[in-house]
């Protein structure tokens, strides 16, 4: 599974202008596979798209982030869909999984 995350991040690297993908690699050591990813300084206050609260709230307010999410979805052939926030019961449209 670890190698899939790194491979998927590499699919997007240099494909979408202005998209920054965290550096990562997979390491096989003594029969175990580890995923190594650079740490990004994301907090609830810095998040501009997605949810880090188990879908209680889903942020889609930033137009630049929404445009980038649409570009990623287009590159991956993902269809837009609606999700329901658990806290407010509002429907929000997204093209990415709710836990981005």
State what percent of residues in the chain have pLDDT above 90.
2
In contact, 12 and 75? CB cutoff 8 Å = yes
For 13-46, what is each residue's pLDDT tens digit?
Answer: 778 888 877 777 888 889 888 888 888 887 778 8
Domain segments of the chain as ranges: 1-40, 42-100
- pLDDT category at 3 given cuts 50, 70, 90 is low
Burial, 26: exposed, middle or buried (Cβ in 10 Å; 0-12, 13-18, 19+)? middle
d(CA 88, CA 45): 19
- The mean pLDDT value of the chain amounts to 82
pTM to 2 decimals?
0.70
What 8-state DSSP symbol labels residue 56? S
Closest CA to 9 of 37, 28, 46, 45: 37
pLDDT > 70? residue 99: no
């Amino acid at each position: 599974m670890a190698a899939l995350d790194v491979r998927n991040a590499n699919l997007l690297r240099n494909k979408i202008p202005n998209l920054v993908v965290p550096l990562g690699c997979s390491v096989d050591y003594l029969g175990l596979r580890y995923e190594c990813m650079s740490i990004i300084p994301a907090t609830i206050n810095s998040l501009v798209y997605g949810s880090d609260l188990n879908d209680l709230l889903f942020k889609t307010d930033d137009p630049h982030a929404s445009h980038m999410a649409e570009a990623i979805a287009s590159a991956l052939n993902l269809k837009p869909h609606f999700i329901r926030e658990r806290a407010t019961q509002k429907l929000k449209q997204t093209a990415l999984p709710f836990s981005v």
